[in-house]
């Protein structure tokens, strides 16, 4: 019997999303960043966390949702080095850490899906979905975030 | 385990590794058959190292290592005389085994080393043939075998097989006779006898012959047998290098020297002092043993596949001594210390944070005066020094990395059946430790590539006329703030045709693109993933996954890799790396409210444009430019670079041009950073400049590396991140072209030169600045007030014995008068003009300067006629004076212009061709004052077009030096076209040959600028002749 998985969940544009807790380095309130000219729109900029520089991405734009401004509830979720080097995403609101049994987690493949996630445009960022207390948690694969950015940069050139 | 034991084990590992390095280097040296002295030294070194390992291992209970080391010792003992190749192999194998065990100490205790031990044992018992290097002094031999050397050699060949031989003759001219200095025969013999046996069997002396430099003092007067005899014997025994004769003070005309005459000299000989004494009867004052012994055993032996390395064992020991603390056998005091890397890293981090605190204090206390300032300054300087020192602590010599390559190449070469030498240069060049570590893999790969694919098999090489042994040169140098590492091999090189074919077949580039590439770019294709032109994939390389990984590794180090090759001759790969994880000084600027750091390395100066100043950004061709000290600087606005995400296209550039004002003052203060890149300068416009700061460069986030305009990021004093500008990237992004600016530069300088006027700037009263063309000024005279004499209303001063009338500007025009002072000894200046009817001078209170300008005058018709116009010169409003008018006004109607009265019937139409606005204005005035109608043209072509337009002119007055079409061409062309109007040349050129030329071109008259009266007279003359001819 597999162990249950823990997800760090958060809200983006009203929807509930999550990433595997093992991928998360920390969640911080730091939201002032330095803009990078010529970077794709999904890149908000660079931020200084205790002497280290991290790249900040806008999860809304990554997922293809309409943009909005940073509010007091916005949080920066930083990922561990194994996910990608020195980066994190800004989310609208942080939610709870959820424990989910593996049988409730459905891998999300492009072709066959029972549950259709409507609010996300770039569906290859979705790893799985799981139902929890009437709400759907869309589990994302953060390892695909940076490649998307790099692709945009290459495409432009 | 207790921490004590842990520490001891840790120490053992570190020590053992160093010992193993020594062992390896010594064994490799032995392989290259050094001379006897060197051989013994190597074996000793090796022995000592192995002995230390054995001791330490035994103490710590590391039995397998101990046993192996012991067996190695025994074998080494036997090798003091003879070093068979197999023994060396076995020893190297055992050394490697120990290395493996040391790397994994916990498991080493159970390791089974019996196979290795067995091999060692076999080698110890080996009684077979080994190689002996002998050095035979032929001079000595001839004494032993007076009948001839043949009998010696007959004996010799029975002792074994000669593998290689070499004859060593000292520096001498064989034409003069057989060599008298050293004469040695060096031979490599494969024999089952040891050296000692051989020597005794052959009856040699056994002592290595050494070439000595002997200093001799010979008292010539005391020589029996005559001097000729002496020197002949000396010459036969030694090669005389230098000689000097010392004669006591004597008048040689009177007599021969009375005291001792001594010949002092140096000679090179193999003989020992006693032998010299017995043979020649000379006493050796000083005998110097050889300083440098060549390597007599450096045989290029085909059968053995040896590696002769310039990395001799001694230098390895030197380096290991440098880096380690306790030295085993030498008596040196250790001046190095070994510390944990983690400790050093911690130190670095703390220094980094201290720097930030220092920056914050600088900002916080910047305003304050008093004792705080001094304290902060001190904090500042100490922190900077600390920074420098800690950065240096992390630097390591690149030799540490290079040292492992000789062994690697040796093994690889043997495996592939090739012969390869390696030459290491610049081992002392230092690099940051982390960079060094990350460099190891790429360098290894490149060198393996060279051996595998570059260097050909010995037969192939020889068939091409190369030596059978390939050579790889590894060089490290400092260059331009970077470290440059070059790997050069003299192998088969890279076939650009093969590269091309491969690129096409892999669809990486089209034929057209390949055509346009430079050779370097072509070779660079090799670095793309999947690219490999190797016909065969070997175990070593050729899978095509190597080179692109190398490239990525190097790029991660912020380095570059370039490849050059000449097919058939070799290949050269050059790595360039930054020296350290840099702290660089930067200028902090603001653009659009955002802060950026611009590295000072490319920054030359900063120009500030003020709205009320005279500096302007102009436009030329397709770029904005700024005139910096007579040169045009292409301008890029940082804001434009930031706003536009793609590199500038031609349309973008056009848009940018239109969006900025064409001329006129800048709306607010702007700063232009003058940056220099590869010899080209350009200006970067920013909004604000904040100051310089030392900035810790953090590399750009890997995903953002493609953003070319930034080279990294840094954390500022206030904790926020700022981006560091990449000057090269900005130039590329803005597609800055320097060619059009260079062209414009040329045109502008030539245009300006034609139009430039030299004027004299001066002051009279306190308010105004005046200007007069230098052409009209004869001289400036200094006078003191007390020389001025008054006669009625007029003032005079005597200059050159002539009474000169003084013109005060305030009397003639509406100008201020200088303050009256009682100081009669005050100095004033007097401008003495040319072309005046009577001696006069313009009084001047202060000469400002002379200036070259192209002037656009603003006319003031409401002002006095004597004022030609005004312009701003050196930020002051300057009044340009009409000399002629002034003179006229001064002398009033006393002097009548002696020109013919103007014809009242019909005003004559004149065409004036003159490029300089200034003169055009003056001459036009002069001529108009005579009642003529004057049309103007700005140069020859303009003049021609006016003539073609059909207007009839009675006279043409033309300048000579003009752009586009000068006066000569204009006149010739006009005459060619059948224009018969009289032409007058008016120019600053003077001389009979110019006058003659003017005549040839068709001019009817020639006048030098600018005498009003003469001009008017000449014009009248020419017009009159016209009338008469009509």
| pLDDT, averaged across chain B | 79
**pLDDT tier at B157 (50, 70, 90 boundaries)?**
confident
Nearest to B903 by CA among B928, B935, B934, B930: B930
Phi, psi of B599 (to 5 degrees): -60, 135
More confident residue, A156 or B566: B566
Cβ–Cβ contact A72 with B under 8 A: no
pLDDT tens profile B76-113 = 888 876 677 778 888 999 999 999 999 888 888 888 88
Sequence-ordered list of residues with C-beta below 8 angstroms from that of B151, at least 6 positions apart, any chain? B145
HEC per residue, B859-900: CCCCCCCCEEEEEEECCEEEEEECHHHHHHHHHHHHCCCCCC
Partner residue facing B721 (CB), from A43, A48, A149: A48
CA-to-CA distance for B813 and A142, rounded, in angstroms?
84
Beta-carbon neighbour count of residue A26 at 10 Å?
A: 11
pLDDT tens profile A92-119 = 999 999 999 888 888 876 555 555 666 6
Structure tokens at B332: 């040196």
CA-to-CA distance for B904 and B237, rounded, in angstroms?
117
CA-to-CA distance for B301 and B287, rounded, in angstroms?
35
A91: which strand partners? Answer: A75
Structure tokens at B119: 């091999």
CB-based contact B594 A35, cutoff 8 Å: yes
B353 contacts on A by Cβ (under 8 Å):
51
More confident residue, B195 or A155: A155
Q: CB-side exposure of A116: number of CA atoms within 13 Å? A: 2
Query: In this model, does residue B766 exceed pLDDT 90?
Result: no
Sequence-ordered list of residues with C-beta below 8 angstroms from that of B187, at least 6 positions apart, any chain? B133, B134, B136, B162, B164, B165, B166
A31 contacts on B by Cβ (under 8 Å):
none
Sequence-ordered list of residues with C-beta below 8 angstroms from that of B545, at least 6 positions apart, any chain? B529
CB-based contact B352 A51, cutoff 8 Å: yes
CA-to-CA distance for B634 and B734, rounded, in angstroms?
11
CB-based contact A48 B720, cutoff 8 Å: yes
pLDDT score for A23: 92
pLDDT score for B638: 95
More confident residue, B214 or B150: B150
Sequence-ordered list of residues with C-beta below 8 angstroms from that of B31, at least 6 positions apart, any chain? B85, B88, B306, B307, B410
HEC per residue, B408-467: HHHHHHHHHCCCEEEEEECCCCEEEHHHHHHHHHHHHHHHHHHHHHHCCCHHHHHHCCCC
CA-to-CA distance for B162 and B150, rounded, in angstroms?
16
B589: which strand partners? Answer: B596, B689
Are A92 and A10 a contacting pair, CB within 8 Å?
A: yes
CB-based contact B715 A53, cutoff 8 Å: yes
Are B550 and B527 a contacting pair, CB within 8 Å?
A: yes
Q: Nearest-CA distance from B719 to chain A in Å? A: 7
Are B242 and B265 a contacting pair, CB within 8 Å?
A: yes
Are A97 and A9 a contacting pair, CB within 8 Å?
A: yes
**pLDDT tier at B838 (50, 70, 90 boundaries)?**
confident
pLDDT tens profile B360-402 = 787 777 777 778 888 888 888 888 888 778 777 877 888 888 9
A140: which strand partners? Answer: A126
Structure tokens at B976: 């060619």
Alpha carbon B6 to its chain centroid, in Å, reads 51
Phi, psi of B1023 (to 5 degrees): -65, -40
Q: At which residue do the structure tokens 């670079």 appear?
A: B641
Q: What DSSP string runs through A84-142?
A: SSSEEEEESEEEEEEEE-GGGEEE--SS--SS---S-S-GGGEEEEEEETTEEEEEE-G
Structure tokens at B302: 């085909």
pLDDT score for B849: 87
Which secondary structure element, helix H or strand E, spans residue B647, and what is its range? none
CA-to-CA distance for A52 and A87, rounded, in angstroms?
11
A28: which strand partners? Answer: A76
pLDDT score for B773: 86
Cβ–Cβ contact B876 with A under 8 A: no
3-state SS class at B5: helix
Query: In this model, does residue A55 exceed pLDDT 90?
Result: yes
Q: Which of B109-113, B387-391, B561-565, B720-724 has the highest mean pLDDT?
A: B720-724
pLDDT tens profile B801-825 = 888 899 888 888 888 888 766 555 6
C-alpha to C-alpha distances, B276 to A121, B284, B743, nearest whole angstrom: 100, 8, 79
Q: At which residue do the structure tokens 């193999």 appear?
A: B270
Chain B's closest residue to A44, CA to CA, is: B704
Structure tokens at B780: 């400036």
pLDDT score for B607: 92
pLDDT tens profile B535-548 = 544 544 444 457 77
pLDDT score for B207: 57
Q: Is A128 exposed, middle or buried (0-12, 13-18, 19+ CB in 10 A)?
A: buried
pLDDT score for B261: 80
CA-to-CA distance for B77 and B46, rounded, in angstroms?
10
A46 contacts on B by Cβ (under 8 Å):
701, 713, 721, 723
Sequence-ordered list of residues with C-beta below 8 angstroms from that of B433, at least 6 positions apart, any chain? B341, B394, B395, B396
Chain A's closest residue to B703, CA to CA, is: A150
pLDDT score for A28: 93
Nearest to B593 by CA among B673, B674, B688: B688
3-state SS class at B134: strand
CA-to-CA distance for B229 and B389, rounded, in angstroms?
68
B27: which strand partners? Answer: none
**Count, residues in chain A:** 157
Partner residue facing B701 (CB), from A33, A51, A86: A86
CB-based contact B703 A38, cutoff 8 Å: no
A38 contacts on B by Cβ (under 8 Å):
642, 645, 707-709
Q: At which residue do the structure tokens 């080391």 appear?
A: B69
Q: CB-side exposure of A87: number of CA atoms within 13 Å? A: 26
Find residues 629-688 of chain B whose CB sits inside 8 Å of chain A: 641-642, 645-646
Average pLDDT estimate for A41-59: 89
More confident residue, B1010 or B176: B1010
B719 contacts on A by Cβ (under 8 Å):
48
B552 contacts on A by Cβ (under 8 Å):
none
The interface predicted TM-score of the complex, written ipTM, equals: 0.91
Q: CB-side exposure of B471: number of CA atoms within 13 Å? A: 11
Q: What DSSP string runs through B575-618?
A: EEEESSS-EEEEEEEEETTEEEEEEGGGEEEEEEE-TTSS--EE
Chain A's closest residue to B701, CA to CA, is: A55
Query: In this model, does residue B279 exceed pLDDT 70?
Result: no
A39 contacts on B by Cβ (under 8 Å):
704, 707
Long-range pairs for A38-42: beta carbons < 8 A, 24 or more residues apart: A38/B642, A38/B645, A38/B707, A38/B708, A38/B709, A39/A149, A39/A153, A39/B704, A39/B707, A40/A149, A40/A152, A40/A153, A40/A156, A42/A148, A42/A149, A42/A152
Q: At which residue do the structure tokens 């002769």 appear?
A: B308
Interface test with A, best of B649, B695, B721, B729 (most A CBs within 10 A): B721
Sequence-ordered list of residues with C-beta below 8 angstroms from that of B845, at least 6 positions apart, any chain? B762, B763, B764, B765, B818, B828, B829
Are B938 and B914 a contacting pair, CB within 8 Å?
A: yes
Task: Give alpha helix (H) positions in B691-738.
Answer: 727-733
Q: CB-side exposure of B329: number of CA atoms within 13 Å? A: 13
Phi, psi of B924 (to 5 degrees): -60, -45
CA-to-CA distance for B902 and B429, rounded, in angstroms?
88
Query: In this model, does residue B30 exceed pLDDT 80?
Result: yes
Are A54 and A35 a contacting pair, CB within 8 Å?
A: no
pLDDT score for B639: 93
């Amino acid at each position: 019997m597999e162990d249950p998985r823990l997800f760090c969940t958060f809200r983006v544009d009203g929807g509930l999303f999550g990433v595997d807790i093992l991928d998360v380095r920390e969640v911080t309130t730091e939201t002032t960043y330095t803009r990078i000219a010529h970077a794709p729109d999904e890149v908000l900029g660079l931020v200084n966390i205790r002497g280290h520089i991290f790249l900040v991405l806008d999860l809304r734009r990554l997922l293809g949702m309409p943009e909005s401004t940073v509010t007091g509830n916005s949080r920066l979720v930083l990922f561990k080095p194994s996910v990608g080097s020195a980066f994190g995403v800004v989310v609208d609101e942080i939610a709870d850490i959820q424990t989910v049994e593996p049988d409730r987690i459905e891998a999300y493949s492009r072709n066959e899906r029972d549950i259709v996630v409507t609010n996300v445009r770039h569906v290859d960022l979705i790893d799985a979905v799981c139902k929890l207390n009437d709400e759907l948690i869309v589990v994302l694969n953060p390892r695909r975030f940076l490649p998307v950015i790099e692709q945009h940069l290459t495409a432009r050139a | 385990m207790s921490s004590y034991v842990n520490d001891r084990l840790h120490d053992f590992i570190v020590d053992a590794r160093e010992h193993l390095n020594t062992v390896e280097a010594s064994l490799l040296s032995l392989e290259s058959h050094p001379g006897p002295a060197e051989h013994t030294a190597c074996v000793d070194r090796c022995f000592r190292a192995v002995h230390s390992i054995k001791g330490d291992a035994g103490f710590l209970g590391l039995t397998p290592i101990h046993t192996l080391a012991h067996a190695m010792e025994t074998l080494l003992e036997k090798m003091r005389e003879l070093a068979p190749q197999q023994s060396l192999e076995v020893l190297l194998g055992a050394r490697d085994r120990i290395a493996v065990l040391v790397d994994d100490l916990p498991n080493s205790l159970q390791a089974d080393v019996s196979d290795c031990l067995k091999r060692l044992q076999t080698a110890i018992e080996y009684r077979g043939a080994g190689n002996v290097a002998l050095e035979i002094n032929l001079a000595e031999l001839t004494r032993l075998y007076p009948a001839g050397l043949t009998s010696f050699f007959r004996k010799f060949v029975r002792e074994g097989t000669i593998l290689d031989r070499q004859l060593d003759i000292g520096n001498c001219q064989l034409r003069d006779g057989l060599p008298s200095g050293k004469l040695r025969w060096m031979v490599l013999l494969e024999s089952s006898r040891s050296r000692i046996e051989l020597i005794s069997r052959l009856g040699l002396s056994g002592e290595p012959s050494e070439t000595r430099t002997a200093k001799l003092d010979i008292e010539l007067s005391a020589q029996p047998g005559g001097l000729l005899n002496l020197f002949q014997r000396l010459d036969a025994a030694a090669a005389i290098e230098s000689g000097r004769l010392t004669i006591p003070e004597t008048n040689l005309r009177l007599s021969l020297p009375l005291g001792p005459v001594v010949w002092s000299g140096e000679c090179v000989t193999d003989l020992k002092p006693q032998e010299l004494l017995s043979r020649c009867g000379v006493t050796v004052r000083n005998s110097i043993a050889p300083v440098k012994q060549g390597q007599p055993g450096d045989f290029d032996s085909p059968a053995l596949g040896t590696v002769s390395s310039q990395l001799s064992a001694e230098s390895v020991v030197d380096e290991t001594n440098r880096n380690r603390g306790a030295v085993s056998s030498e008596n040196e005091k250790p001046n190095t210390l070994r510390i944990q890397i983690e400790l050093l890293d911690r130190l670095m981090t703390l220094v980094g944070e201290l720097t930030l605190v220092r920056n914050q204090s600088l900002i916080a206390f910047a305003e304050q005066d008093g004792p705080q300032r001094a304290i902060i300054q001190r904090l500042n300087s100490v922190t900077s020094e600390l920074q420098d020192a800690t950065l240096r602590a992390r630097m390591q010599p690149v030799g540490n990395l290079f040292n492992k390559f000789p062994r690697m190449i040796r093994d690889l070469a043997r495996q592939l059946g090739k012969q390869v030498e390696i030459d290491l240069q610049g081992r002392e060049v230092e690099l940051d430790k982390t960079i060094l570590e990350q460099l190891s893999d790429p360098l290894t790969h490149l060198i393996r590539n060279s051996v595998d694919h570059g260097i050909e098999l010995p037969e192939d090489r020889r068939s091409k006329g190369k030596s059978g042994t390939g050579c790889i040169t590894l060089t490290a140098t400092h260059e331009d703030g970077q470290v440059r590492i070059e790997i050069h091999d003299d192998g088969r090189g890279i076939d650009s045709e093969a590269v091309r074919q491969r690129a096409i077949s892999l669809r990486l580039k089209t034929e057209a693109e390949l055509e346009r590439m430079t050779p370097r770019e072509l070779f660079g294709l090799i670095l793309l993933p999947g690219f490999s032109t190797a016909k065969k994939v070997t175990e070593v390389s050729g899978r095509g996954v190597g080179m692109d990984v190398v490239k990525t590794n190097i790029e991660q180090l912020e380095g570059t890799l370039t490849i050059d090759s000449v097919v058939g001759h070799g290949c050269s790969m050059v790595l360039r790396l930054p020296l350290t994880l840099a702290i660089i000084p930067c200028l902090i600027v603001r653009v659009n409210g955002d802060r950026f750091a611009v590295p000072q390395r490319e920054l030359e100066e900063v120009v500030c444009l003020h709205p009320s100043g005279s500096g302007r950004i102009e436009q030329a061709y397709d770029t904005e430019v700024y005139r910096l000290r007579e040169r045009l600087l292409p301008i890029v606005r940082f804001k434009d670079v930031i706003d536009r995400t793609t590199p500038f296209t031609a349309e973008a550039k056009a848009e940018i041009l239109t969006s900025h004002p064409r001329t006129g003052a800048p709306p607010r203060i702007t700063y232009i950073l003058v940056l220099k890149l590869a010899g080209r300068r350009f200006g970067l416009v920013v909004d604000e400049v904040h100051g310089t700061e030392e900035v810790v460069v953090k590399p750009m986030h890997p995903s953002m590396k493609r953003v070319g305009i930034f080279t990294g990021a840094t954390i500022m004093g206030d904790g926020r991140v700022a981006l560091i500008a990449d000057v090269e990237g900005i130039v590329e992004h803005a597609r800055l072209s320097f060619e059009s600016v260079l062209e414009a530069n040329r045109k502008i300088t030539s245009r300006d030169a034609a139009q430039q006027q030299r004027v004299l700037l001066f002051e009279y009263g306190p308010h105004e600045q005046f200007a007069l063309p230098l052409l009209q000024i004869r001289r400036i005279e200094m006078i003191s007030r007390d020389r001025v004499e008054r006669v009625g209303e007029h003032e005079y001063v005597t200059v050159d014995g002539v009474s000169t009338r003084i013109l005060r500007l305030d009397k003639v025009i509406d100008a201020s008068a200088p303050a009256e002072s009682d100081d009669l000894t005050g100095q004033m200046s007097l401008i003495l003009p040319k072309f005046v009817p009577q001696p006069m001078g313009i009084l001047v209170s202060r000469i400002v300067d002379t200036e070259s300008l192209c002037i656009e005058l603003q006319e003031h018709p409401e002002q006095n006629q004597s004022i030609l116009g005004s312009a701003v010169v050196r930020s002051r409003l300057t009044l340009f004076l009409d000399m002629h008018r002034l003179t006229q006004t001064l002398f009033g109607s006393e002097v009548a212009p002696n020109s013919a009265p103007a014809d009242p019937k019909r005003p004559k139409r004149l065409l004036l061709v003159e490029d300089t606005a200034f003169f055009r204005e003056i001459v036009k005035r002069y001529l108009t004052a005579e009642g003529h109608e004057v049309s103007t043209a700005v140069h020859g072509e303009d003049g021609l077009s006016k003539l073609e337009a059909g207007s009839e002119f009675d006279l043409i007055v033309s300048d000579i030096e003009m752009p586009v079409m000068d006066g000569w061409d204009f006149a010739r062309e006009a005459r060619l076209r059948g224009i018969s109007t009289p032409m007058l040349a008016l120019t600053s050129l003077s001389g009979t040959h110019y006058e003659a030329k003017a005549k040839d071109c068709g001019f009817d008259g020639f006048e030098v600028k600018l005498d009003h009266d003469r001009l008017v007279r000449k014009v009248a003359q020419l017009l009159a002749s016209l009338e008469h001819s009509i």
